[in-house]
Amino acid sequence: MAVKASNFKNWCNENISPQSWTRICLKCLDQVRERGYNLKQIEALEEDFDLDAELLNSLNAALGELYEMSVDEELLVRY
């Protein structure tokens, strides 16, 4: 099941705060860069993309570390 980066960002904005997506991405910046994106691109998401399993797991781990929260992949698909 593919999860769009914008869905994860929207979930963060609605359930935590607008700054949470940036904080989570900063925590996973190495993985983001490995996929050819920089922080500005992933914050703006002008070109949305599917999160691969490894990046999704990293983002979820960062969510847990920073906010002691988790989100189900199925929920993200609906955002």
Encode pLDDT of 29-65 as tens digits.
Answer: 999 999 999 999 999 998 899 999 999 999 999 999 9
**Helical residues (DSSP H) of the chain, grouped into ranges:** 5-15, 20-27, 29-34, 39-44, 53-67, 73-78
CA 71 to chain centre: 11
Q: How far is CA 69 from CA 2, 11, 60, 78, in A?
A: 21, 12, 9, 18
**Does the structure show a pLDDT above 80 at 78?**
no
Q: For the chain, which residues make up each domain, given as ranges?
A: 3-78
- Residue 2: the pLDDT is 82
pTM, rounded to two decimals: 0.89
